[in-house]
Amino acid sequence: MNKKLTLALTKGRILKETLPLLARAGIEPLEDVGTSRKLVFETRRSDVQLVIIRGTDVPTYVRHGAADMGVVGKDVLLEHGAEGLYEPLDLGIARCRLMTAGPVGWQGTGARIRVATKFVNITRRYFARQGVHAELIKLYGAMELAPIMNLADLIVDIVDTGNTLRANGMAPLAEIASISSRLVVNKAAMRSRYSTIAQLIDDLTEIVQDSENATA
């Protein structure tokens, strides 16, 4: 039986910002995760291994116990749910906003609009709270193209700098949620490996607090 603690990490920007935090907790991959084609990495801690997967898959791996812990964006948890998971720590990295956006000067003409997004569950709940009937169109990328091509009136997407919106004649409208990366833990693993996991949570909490104090 594999006794290693398995930590699932999200590819891309989140991975880039997570690795320095883990390194300060003594968890460093033995290989360069940026150049290797591997998906599973041993670390300088013989009892911890990393798996690098898509962000949307992290909660699934952790929920079903294939990974004991994971790092994933809050947007994924809001969209797909966090059942079966503990969410003990906001790592404060990969910060962005989930927002509605539309063409510059856009004015709604009624209570019915078309909205393009990959966050269909979040978007449905948001517009229901606003009392607006939204026809949702699921896309997986290039959201800004949807209003340009008259596929949708608005979009709901992650906004970081807003440069892509501006370059395509669009502007952010309303913030739905503030997003950052979260540490998640399998509930069964939290019980069976409490001391190891609790110590890692404590270590990362202290590291995050030190980082926030340093930038305050």
Which pLDDT tens digit goes with each residue over 2-55? Answer: 589 999 999 999 999 999 999 999 999 999 998 999 999 999 999 999 999 999
Supply 209's token pair: 């607090």
Flag residues of the chain having pLDDT under 50. 1
**pTM for the full predicted model:** 0.91
- To 5 degrees, how large is the angle CA 197–CA 200–CA 203? 150
Sorted by where each starts, the structural domains of the chain and their CATH numbers stand as 5-94+180-215 (3.40.190.10), 96-177 (3.40.190.10)
Give the model's pLDDT for residue 22: 97
Supply 88's token pair: 């003990």
Give the model's pLDDT for residue 2: 54
Supply 116's token pair: 């393009």
Nearest to 25 by CA among 200, 142, 177: 200
Q: Please compute Rg for the chain using Cα positions.
A: 19
